[in-house]
Chains A and B, each alone.
Chain A
Amino acid sequence: MKNPLLRGKLPWVIAALIVLFLLPLFLDRFYVYLAAIILLTGLCATSLNFVLGYGGVFQFHHAVFYGIGAYGTALMIIKSGLSPWLGFVVGPVAAGIVGFVIGVICIRLSKLYFGMLQISLGSLVWAIVYRWYSFTGGDDGIHGVPLPDIISSPNGAYYFTLTVTALSMFVLYRMIRSPFGSALQGIRDNPVRSEMIGVNVKLQQLIALTIAGFFGGVAGSLFVVVDNTVFPDMMFWTLSLELIIMCLLGGWFSFLGPMVGAGIIVLLRTYVSGLTVYWAFILGIIMMLVIFFLPNGVLGYLDRFVKKKARGG
C-alpha cells in the first residue's frame, strides 16, 4: 500500500481536476467530446475493475451494464414524460438490478465458468435489445435524445460528465479502501481463506457485482448526455473485451489504471480505426504485448520504475 506513485496524491488529483475543468477553454469542440468519452469510458472500466482487479471475479461481459444504463436513461427520457433527470437515476439502478440478477445466476460457478455463463446471458440481453424494434429501436438505436438545457450544449455535457465521473470515482475509491473493499480484495486473493475468517464470500461478491453494474450504468447514461444516442453495439461483447483490455493495459491493481487504459484505447480507436479496418487485429496485438511486457499494466510499470528510482537503482 505504500505507493511512491501516489504519495502526496491529493495535490495531483486536484491539479488534474483543474486541468480537466479548464480543458474546454482551450480545446476544440471535438476534443472536448473526446475527453468526455474518455472520462465516461474510464469510469466504466473502473467499475469493471472493482470486481475484476479488486474482487477477482471474471466479469467478462461488463458492457451489458453500460448499455442498460444508456438505454434505461434514454427510454425513460423519451417514453415516460417525467423529468429527464429521473432517467439518470433509472438507467444506473436498472443496470445495478440486472447486475444483481445475472450475479445471482452466475455466482455459484467459479472463475472461468462464471465468465462464460455471463457472456451467454449478456449476449441474450444484447439480442433482446437488438430485436425489440418497437421498444428499443432495434439496430437503429435511438437518436436525438432530448436533454435538459443545462447539459445539452457540448460544454454542458462535458462538465456534467466530469462532475459525475469525479464523484463516482471518489465513491468507488472510498469503497475499495473500506472494510467492504478489504474483504473483497481478500476474496480475490484467497476465497477459501476468506470464508474461513468469517466472510460470506458469495454474498460479498454479489453486492460487489451490483455496485459494479450500477456504476457501469452511470457511465452508460453519461454516454447519452455526451453523444445523444444509444445503440445495441454499446452492449456487444467486443466492447466488453475492450474494457478488459483497458484494465489490463492501464494496470488492474492500480485504482487509476483502467482510466489510463481507457484513455489509450479510446485515443487509438479514434485515430487508428480511421486509418485501418483492422481494429480488432490491433486490439489483439495490444493485448498480447501487455500480457508479455506489461503484466501489471502501464501504471504498474511506472510504479515499479519510480520505486527503483527512489531506491537509487
Chain B
Amino acid sequence: MLEVTSLQKSFDGFKAVNNASLSVKEGEVVAVIGPNGAGKTTLFNLITGVLKPDGGKVFFKGEDITGLPSYKVCRRGMSRSFQVVNVFPRLTVFENVQVSVLAQQKKTWNLFAPSAKLAIGETERILENVGLVDIKDATSAALSHGERKVLEIAIALGGSPEFLILDEPTAGMSPEETTRCIDLIKQLKEKLGITILFCEHDMEIVFSISDRIMVMVRGSTVIEGTCEDVRCCQEVQDAYLGGSDACLM
C-alpha cells in the first residue's frame, strides 16, 4: 500500500533523513523505531507532504505521491496524527473532529448551509469510538494532555483514512490512558481495517501491536523485518537497544 524508497531530506546540510526505505502492505501495522532525532518525524512529514523530500520516492496505492501537498495526500486516503499536539485550540472537541469530517466530505466550499446541521452522525461516531464524547463541548485548549493526544487521533479519523500514520501516539500519557490508546489502535486495525504506520518509544507496545518493524538510525533504515528479525539483529542491539548480548528481549 505504501512504498518508500531511499528518501532524503537535509536541513542546512544536516541529513535528517538519509536513505530511508519502507514498505507497508494493506492491513498491516508497521512500527518505525529509533533513538530520538533518528528522523522518524521527518520521515512522516516527507510521506504526508508536510515537507518536500530532496530525493527518493513515495508510492501510495501504486501511485507516485512524492512531494504532493498534504491536502492532496489526505484526499487519497492517508491521515496522520502529530507527535506534538497539533489540534485547533479555539474550536470545541466536537468542532475539531467535525471540520475534518467536513473536509473529507468535500464540503468546505459550501458557503450557506449551517455547519451545525452537517456531519453530526459521523462526528459523534468517531468521538464515541475514541471515548471523547463526554467532553465534546469543551474547548480543546482546556483538555488534558492525554485527552488532546486522543483528539489528535480523532481528527485524523475524521478523514475516514485507509492508511493512518501515528507519531508517538502515547507519548506523555498516563499508564491507564496508554492502555486505552493501545486498545483503540488495535480496534482501528481489526474493526475498521485501517492500515497503520506508527512510531513509539515504548518497546513493549511496539512488539505487542506491530506486524513488522523498521529501525531507523541517523536518518537511515537499518533493518526492516518481523519482530523476531529485529530482536535478533546485531546492528539494532548495538545501535539502539543498548548492546545487550542476547536475543531474549
Contact = CB atoms under 8 A, between A and B. Distances in A.
Interface in A9-59: none
A201 to B, nearest CB: 7
A178 B113 contact: yes
B29 to A, nearest CB: 21
Contacts of B112: 174-175, 178
B99 interface: yes
Given A195-B71, A196-B80, A204-B108, A182 B115 contact: yes
A201 B71 contact: yes
Contacts of B137: 1-2
A182 B115 CA distance: 7
Interface stretch (A125-133, A186-194, A260-268): A186-194
B87 A182 contact: no
Contacts of B95: 1, 182, 185
Contacts of B90: 185, 188-189, 253
A197 B80 CA distance: 9
Contacts of B75: 198
A195 B70 contact: yes
A189 B141 CA distance: 11
Given A178-B111, A182-B115, A199-B103, A189 B88 contact: yes
A82 B92 CA distance: 50
A163 B26 CA distance: 58
B69 A195 contact: yes
Given A182-B99, A198-B75, A190 B114 contact: no
B92 A180 contact: no
Contacts of A189: 87-91
Interface residues of A, number: 29
B7 to A, nearest CB: 18
B14 interface: no
A198 B89 contact: no
Contacts of B86: 190, 192-193
A197 B110 contact: no
A188 B159 CA distance: 19
A94 B79 CA distance: 40
Given A196-B50, A197-B79, A175 B111 contact: yes
Given A180-B109, A197-B74, A198-B103, A190 B89 contact: yes
Interface in B39-85: 48, 50, 69-71, 74-75, 79-80, 82
Nearest to B110: A179
A197 B91 contact: no
A175 B111 CA distance: 5
Interface string B12-23: 000000000000
Nearest to B115: A182
Most buried by B among A174, A196, A200: A196
B89 A178 contact: no
Contacts of B74: 195-198
Given A182-B95, A188-B90, A197 B100 contact: yes
A197 B107 contact: no
Most buried by B among A2, A195, A207, A253: A195
A91 interface: no
A207 B114 CA distance: 18
Contacts of B98: 182
A111 interface: no
Most buried by A among B50, B100, B156: B100
B114 A196 contact: no
B116 interface: yes
A180 B108 CA distance: 5
B102 A182 contact: yes
Contacts of B233: none
B148 to A, nearest CB: 12
A207 B111 CA distance: 11
A198 B48 CA distance: 11
Contact of B87 (A1, A175, A181, A193): A193
A267 to B, nearest CB: 30
B247 to A, nearest CB: 39
A180 B50 CA distance: 23
Contacts of B155: 193, 197
A76 interface: no
Interface of B: 48, 50, 69-71, 74-75, 79-80, 82, 86-92, 95, 98-100, 102-104, 107-116, 118, 137, 155-156, 158-159
20 contacts: A1-B95, A1-B137, A175-B111, A179-B115, A182-B98, A185-B91, A186-B91, A189-B88, A190-B86, A190-B89, A192-B50, A196-B50, A197-B103, A197-B104, A197-B156, A198-B75, A198-B104, A199-B71, A199-B103, A204-B108
The 9 closest A-B pairs by CB, nearest first: A189-B88, A198-B74, A183-B108, A195-B70, A179-B107, A198-B103, A197-B100, A186-B99, A179-B110
